[in-house]
Each structure stands twice: as C-alpha cells, then as structure tokens.
Structure 1
Amino acid sequence: MGKLESYRDLEVWKISMQLAREVYQITEGMPKHEIYGLTSQIRRASVSVPANIAEGYGRNHRKEYVQFLGVANGSLKELETLLLLAHDLNYLNDITKLMSLCESAGRLLTRLRQSLQRVMDSH
C-alpha cells in the first residue's frame, strides 16, 4: 500500500462518501412532509461520517483523530438506525445496499481506529 497523501486516499472515506451520495439519492423519494424531519436527519448522519473522518485526519494529534473516528462511527450507527426506521415506516423500500455500505464502513473504521490506537499505545 502506498503512502497516504490525503484523507481522500482512505478506503473508509471513499466508502462513506459513496454511502452519503446514495443516501441523498434514495431519500429523494421519501415523503415531502419528512423533508425537515427524518429525511434531514438521515442525510445529516450520512454526511457526518466522511466529514468526521476528514476532520480527524486534519487534526494535529492521533488521540484527536481517534476521537473523530469514534464520532464518525457513532454517526454511522445513527444512520443505520434511521434507515431501519424509514424502512419500517415504508418510506424506503430496499435498504440492503445502504446497510451493506454501512457495515463495510464500520469494519474499516474499526480497523483504522485499532491501528491508530496500537501506534499510540506503542509510544
């Protein structure tokens, strides 16, 4: 694996950006009366994942980076919950792909956090 030039080189960031794009597309079909409610919450949670990965990457200390990755993971779990609720309310039909992207992003976030933690623990 080559040297990372930017957070944009991180696979977890790329997947979470894809997730956010797809969330925006799928929520276009949600009821208009939810635009300021559930639709807005789903979209904000989806954007929070890559945004926190990027913000953490830009921090000066690994400890801060790990904290931001934790926030990203929390937003990811929030997003999963909101997607399940929207599906249960029959606002979204098939969330299989979105849930799969959430799982992939979650696994990658966990690995990245563990790897950063190991580096911090070894110093």
Structure 2
Amino acid sequence: MGEKGKKYFRTHEDLAIYQLAFSAAMEIFEQSKNFPLEEKYSLTDQIRRSSRSVCANTAEAWRKRRYKAAFVAKLSDCKAEAAETQVWLKFAVKCQYIEVEKARELYGTYNQVLSGLVTMITYPDDWLLD
C-alpha cells in the first residue's frame, strides 16, 4: 500500500474487511433470530458474539497502529474470531437452523475477511502510523 495508500483510510470503517465483517455480522444477527429458543444461550449467542467481535477487534487494531506488535496481535484476534464464526456457521447448517446457500455465502465472506487480515498481518508496516 505504501504512504500514498494510507491517506485513503481515515478510520477502521473505511476498510473493506471491516465493511464486509459488519455486513456479515448483521446478516448473522438476522438469520439467528430464527434459531430455536433452546439455542439462545449457546449457538445464537456464540455466533453473534464472534461475528461482532471481528468488527470490534478490527476497530481496536486500527487504534493500535502506532505499535506494530499490538496491531498484529489484535489482527490475530480478528482472525481467530472470524474462524470461530465459520465454525458456528457449520453447526448452524448441520442443525438445520440456516439454509446451506446462505451459510456458504457468509462463510465465503469470512474467507474474504480472513484473506484481508492475513495481508495486513503479513505487511503491517503498510498500515502503521509514523
């Protein structure tokens, strides 16, 4: 990305991976409204929490860009939460709480998010504050 590219990202909300993760988290929220009541304190809460955590940790990482290690550590947390969300999506499909195609779409979105996070972790200097 380099110096020139940094100008285009004023906040974490400008990042495509944040936008994708936020949109996916909102879709998961809508889909999980249809999960059975007995899943309220397990699958429903877990998938909502992990999907939202990707966004929250991205915001935290963005604010920690002055310190490379802190930035990368928080992005690693994002990766973990995105992967966890993918696991919960698989459970939701196996339990027949979500349509297979909708889950595939969401799973694919998290693959895109993970790809972006890996790039940011691999090249953190492109994102750090001077």
The one-letter amino acid of 1:108's match is G
For structure 2, the 5+ residue unaligned runs are: none
Contact kept in structure 2, 1:66 and 1:117, CA below 8 Å: no
Residue 17 (structure 2) pairs with residue 12 (structure 1)? yes
In 2: Cα distance, 1:117 partner to 1:75 partner = 23
In the other structure, the counterpart of 1:82 is 88
In 2: Cα distance, 1:113 partner to 1:13 partner = 15
In 2: Cα distance, 1:112 partner to 1:2 partner = 13
In 2: Cα distance, 1:30 partner to 1:118 partner = 41
SS at match of 2:76: helix
1:86-115 per-residue CA deviation (whole Å, 9 max, x = no partner) reads 111112123111111111111111111111
SS at match of 1:37: helix
Q: TM-score, normalised by structure 1?
A: 0.90
SS at match of 1:21: helix
In the other structure, the counterpart of 2:68 is 62
Residue 108 (structure 2) pairs with residue 109 (structure 1)? no
1:4-44 per-residue CA deviation (whole Å, 9 max, x = no partner) reads 11111111111111111111011111111111111000000
Residue 51 (structure 2) pairs with residue 46 (structure 1)? yes
Residue 99 (structure 2) pairs with residue 93 (structure 1)? yes
Residue 85 (structure 2) pairs with residue 73 (structure 1)? no
Residue 41 (structure 2) pairs with residue 36 (structure 1)? yes
Cα 1:46/1:119, change in 2 over 3 Å: closer
Once the two structures are TM-superposed, the CA of residue 118 in structure 1 deviates from its matched residue by: 7.5
**Identity level (%):** 24
Contact kept in structure 2, 1:23 and 1:42, CA below 8 Å: yes
Contact kept in structure 1, 2:21 and 2:55, CA below 8 Å: yes
Runs of 4+ in 1 over 3 A off after TM superposition: 117-120
The one-letter amino acid of 2:114's match is G
Moved more, 111-120 or 12-21: 111-120
SS at match of 1:90: coil
For structure 1, the 5+ residue unaligned runs are: none
Report how many residues are paired: 120
